[in-house]
């Protein structure tokens, strides 16, 4: 149970990330913090190839377009004319082998080595959007919540701020190019802060409980998916209990919303398990 002393307070956290983060550096920095499971998965080879082509050949009049099977791209240069524009294919590049990435490039000229080098660089990079999603997951793992429904500004409980600071330092040290900056504004939990955090938790938990109920009610979920929804409901219940301790307030309405979501998932699971083997839904 988290100590419910309001003087412990918490921290408002937000960040501005570099365009890329070095995945290998981040994994090494996260390992001693037991955060390795939050390192984003390697990107798809096709996404890596597209970024490499944009880096080497990109420009205001260059178009990188996917091929039909999505394993490669054609690079087209636009030539603007007085009556119409002409489009000339400059190069075609495909992923021949995903791991390690090997490319088929036509025509095979001096640009091929530049594209291969760019692919190797991009293969170990984490784009800013992917890194931001990972940081949101870290906030959630520390018992934090989003202060705005759309994200961008989050809150972390005081007892977890040291853990957050260590994670933030690891992210900043792993950035490429311009630096990443992760901010935390520490504060005590006065009446206004309690209200802001309480309202944020209420909004988040109600939205998640409603999502679970809607997905269960659709009747499209199988047994494994329903078990996942039950776990999600249990996580919501733990979050409600956590914030009742942190804020020293009762959140009985949230318990009811979570109970309804959990009961819906449990009932749907029972119905599925009662179906005869091989029955057609």
In a domain, 160, yes or no: no
Average pLDDT over residues 139-148: 94
Last residue of a domain, one of 72, 95, 126: 126
Closest CA to 13 of 179, 197, 173, 194: 197
Whole-angstrom distance, CA of residue 118 vs CA of residue 124: 11
Last residue of a domain, one of 126, 149, 165: 126
The pLDDT score that the predictor gives to residue 1 is 36
Whole-angstrom distance, CA of residue 55 vs CA of residue 32: 34
Q: What are φ and ψ of residue 185, in 5° steps?
A: -110, 105
End-to-end CA distance of the chain: 44
Q: What Å distances lie between residue 144 and 19, 31, 47, 209, CA to CA?
A: 25, 21, 31, 17
Closest CA to 186 of 17, 15, 13: 13
The DSSP bridge pattern shows strands 101-106 and 85-98 to be: antiparallel
Whole-angstrom distance, CA of residue 134 vs CA of residue 14: 13
Last residue of a domain, one of 79, 96, 126: 126
3-state DSSP assignment of residue 187:
strand
Share of the chain above pLDDT 90, in %: 73
Most confident of 95-99, 214-218, 240-244: 240-244
Tokens standing for residue 211: 């999502």
In a domain, 134, yes or no: no
Closest CA to 173 of 33, 48, 7: 33
Closest CA to 13 of 141, 201, 209, 144: 144
Average pLDDT over residues 121-126: 93
Number of domains making up the chain: 2
pLDDT tens sequence across 18-70: 999 999 999 999 999 999 999 999 999 999 999 999 999 988 899 999 998 88
Helix (H), strand (E) at residue 155: strand 154-157
Q: Rg of the Cα trace of the chain? A: 25
In sequence order, the 6+-apart residues with CB closer than 8 A to the CB of 224 are none
Average pLDDT, the chain: 90
Whole-angstrom distance, CA of residue 57 vs CA of residue 111: 9
The position carrying tokens 């809150």 is 155
pLDDT tens sequence across 102-120: 899 999 999 999 999 999 9
Average pLDDT over residues 135-159: 93
Q: Which domain covers residue 58, as residue numbers?
A: 45-126
In a domain, 244, yes or no: yes
In a domain, 187, yes or no: no
Closest CA to 11 of 173, 181, 193: 193
In a domain, 149, yes or no: no
Question: In three state form, how does the secondary structure of 61-130 look?
Answer: CEEEEECCCCCEEEEEEEEECCCCEEEEEEEEEEEEEECCEEEEEECCCCHHHHHHHHHHHHHCEEEHHH
Whole-angstrom distance, CA of residue 116 vs CA of residue 94: 11
In a domain, 66, yes or no: yes
In a domain, 36, yes or no: no
Helix (H), strand (E) at residue 200: helix 191-217
In a domain, 257, yes or no: yes
């Amino acid at each position: 149970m988290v100590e419910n002393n309001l003087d412990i307070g918490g921290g408002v956290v937000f960040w501005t990330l570099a365009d890329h983060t070095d995945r290998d550096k981040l994994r090494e920095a996260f390992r001693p913090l037991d955060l390795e499971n939050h390192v984003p998965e390697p990107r798809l080879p096709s996404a890596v190839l597209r970024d490499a082509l944009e880096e080497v050949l990109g420009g205001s009049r260059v178009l990188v377009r996917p091929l039909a099977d999505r394993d490669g791209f054609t690079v087209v240069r636009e030539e603007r004319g007085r009556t119409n524009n002409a489009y000339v294919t400059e190069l075609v590049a495909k992923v021949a082998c995903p791991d390690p990435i090997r490319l088929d490039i036509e025509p095979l000229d001096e640009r091929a080595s530049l594209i291969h080098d760019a692919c190797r660089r991009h293969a170990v990079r984490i784009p800013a959007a992917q890194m931001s999603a990972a940081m949101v997951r870290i906030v959630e793992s520390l018992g934090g919540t989003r202060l705005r429904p759309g994200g961008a500004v989050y809150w972390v409980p005081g007892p977890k701020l040291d853990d957050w600071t260590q994670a933030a330092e690891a992210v900043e040290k792993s950035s490429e190019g311009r630096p990443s900056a992760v901010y935390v504004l520490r504060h005590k939990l006065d009446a206004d802060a309690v209200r802001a955090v309480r309202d944020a938790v209420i909004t988040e938990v109600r939205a998640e409980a409603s999502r679970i109920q809607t997905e269960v009610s659709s009747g499209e979920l199988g047994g494994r998916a329903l078990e996942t929804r039950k776990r999600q409901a249990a996580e919501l219940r733990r979050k409600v209990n956590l914030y009742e301790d942190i804020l020293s307030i009762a959140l009985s309405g949230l318990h009811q919303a979570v109970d309804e979501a959990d009961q819906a998932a449990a009932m749907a699971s029972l119905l599925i398990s009662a179906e005869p083997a091989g029955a057609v839904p």
